[in-house]
Chain A
Amino acid sequence: MIHQYKLNGYNIVLDVCSGSIHLVDEIAYDMIAGYENTARETLIADLAAKYAHKTDPEELKQAYDQLTALKEAGKLFTPDNYQPMAGQLKAKTSGVIKALCLHVAHTCNLNCSYCFASQGKYHGDRAIMSFEVGKRALDFLVEHSGSRKNLEVDFFGGEPLMNFQVVKDLVAYARSIEKEKGKHFRFTLTTNGVLVDEDVIDFANRECHNVVLSLDGRKEIHDRFRVDFAGNGSWERIVPKFQRFVEARDGKGYYMRGTFTHANPDFLKDIQTMLDLGFTELSMEPVVCAPEDPSALTEADKPIVMQQYEDLAKLMLERDKEGRPFTFYHYMIDLTGGPCIYKRISGCGSGTEYMAVTPWGDLYPCHQFVGEEKFRLGDIWTGVTNHAIQDQFAACNVYARPECRDCWARLYCSGGCAANAYHATGKITGTYQYGCDLFRKRMECALMLAAARQLKMKS
């Protein structure tokens, strides 16, 4: 399978199953489009007529032979022979858990109406994780991590800094057992910034592999949803804190993470605001909510969003030239590295290698399923007991979704997000088509950007 498209002056051909990328002129572009369904002599004659002013049959024959050589080298029209391997990685690592999302606070000091976690409470009561529950969760992770060395723990909420002492105590506990257990913890903190102070900054810079800082961009956009319980916007309060935080981070990982909604499908303006504020590691995500929610993205928003993604990629190339590069999370593609094919077909790992832990110690497949009682997997004392649900997640790979089989982007999303699929279709093996459309556009832009950067490096 191939995917060919034109973007920013490039004619791009992706050979889906080998991962090869070819940049071609318009004649080769048309030849590739016809290669598999048109006889050699017919195709060459057709193209000779169409491009008589640019080429001749001899050159076309050489180009055709070049494409045949690429096919024989496994770089064009590569068949998908991966399906038998789809369950292998999960089977090999069955029972191994490598990441937990610790819901240390099911409460929040902001009252954002678009919050997928219903203002941090996940459709339940407010709750705070105790040290004892958190410690047991870390022990549970170590016990189930097999031979894996790097363990990931995200302090999440609600607002995790509303339970900061427990966060600090849990990190201290984790560090105290690392050596004895032969493990290394990578901590991530996701925060709305309200409670960020020097103590938080020092702690995070010492202990957190990454911090995710929630900012929606322009003040009026941010303050539309990200308000406190008195209805006051939070932008003025948090931006100086985030600037100080990022400055002190001194090169360690962070993301400014924004959400765009029906209120700002023109989210590039919000990215520009983030850049103007001095932030360079950026993530901007489409809102996740019910279709009837007023913040939900509409079909009319889609072309605007698509254009933003293109313009964002072009802006990144411009800023590269100016020596002011920045990162967009979804455009980070390492063409020569990146994940192996096993990772690409295995699905996202929720419910198997990754789980969320509630403040009272229940286990869910991921943070987005918390509060959906039928998805409760078990708890951190007795482990997974709902094997029927876990088996569904274990079987959730890229080949489990019929819609993915003909999608060129399947090896870049691994079948997509089970939670999005569930909320859109009622099945974790469904597909959230709106999200898929946006994802494909992001990948087209990301591949163009990576190709342009590789060309520039080589020149």
Chain B
Amino acid sequence: MIQIKTLETRNLCESAKNGGCGECQTSCQSACKTSCGIANQNCENK
């Protein structure tokens, strides 16, 4: 049996539907201050 396992993830296309609220944290405010990573930010509108 060929294995294809799809993980549970947030669907980014679906996330486009509510328009974005902008309440989330500013990108490099908390820890790094020297790069931009947004993947580790929380959504505040869930």
Judge if A128 is at the interface, Cβ distance under 8 Å.
no
Q: How many angstroms between the C-alpha atoms of A329 and B33 in the bound complex?
A: 12
**Chain A stretch 326-369: residues in CB contact (< 8 A) with chain B:** 329-344, 346, 348-349, 353-354, 366-368
- Of B1, B2, B11, B28, chain A has the most CB atoms within 10 Å of the CB of B2
Tell whether, in the assembled complex, residue B32 and residue A283 are in contact, meaning their CB atoms are under 8 Å apart. yes
Cβ distance A151 to chain B, nearest Cβ, rounded Å: 10
Query: When the two chains form the complex, which single residue of B2, B18, B36, B39 contacts A348, counting CB atoms closer than 8 Å?
Result: B36
Q: Residues of B contacting A85 with CB < 8 Å?
A: 16
Tell whether, in the assembled complex, residue A190 and residue B33 are in contact, meaning their CB atoms are under 8 Å apart. yes
Interface of B is mostly: loop
A432-452: contact bitstring with B at CB < 8 Å (1 yes, 0 no)? 000100010011001000010
Judge if A178 is at the interface, Cβ distance under 8 Å.
no
Q: Residues of A contacting B8 with CB < 8 Å?
A: 335-336, 454
**What size tier do the contact residues of chain A reach?**
35 or more
What are the 3 tightest A-B residue pairs by CB atom distance, in nearest-first order?
Answer: A342-B20, A332-B40, A340-B15
Chain B contacts to A: CB under 8 angstroms: 1-13, 15-16, 18-20, 22-46
Chain A contacts to B: CB under 8 angstroms: 17-25, 27-28, 31, 55, 59-60, 62-63, 66-67, 70, 74-75, 78, 82, 85, 88-89, 92-93, 96, 98-99, 101, 116, 148-150, 152, 154, 156, 188, 190, 210, 212, 253, 255, 257, 283, 285-286, 288, 329-344, 346, 348-349, 353-354, 366-368, 411-418, 420, 435, 439, 442-443, 446, 451, 454-455
Report 25 cross-chain contacts, Cβ distance below 8 Å, ordered by A residue: A23-B3, A70-B4, A89-B22, A92-B22, A150-B23, A188-B29, A210-B30, A257-B32, A285-B33, A330-B32, A338-B10, A338-B39, A338-B41, A338-B42, A341-B15, A341-B20, A342-B20, A342-B22, A353-B22, A353-B26, A366-B28, A413-B36, A417-B35, A418-B36, A420-B34
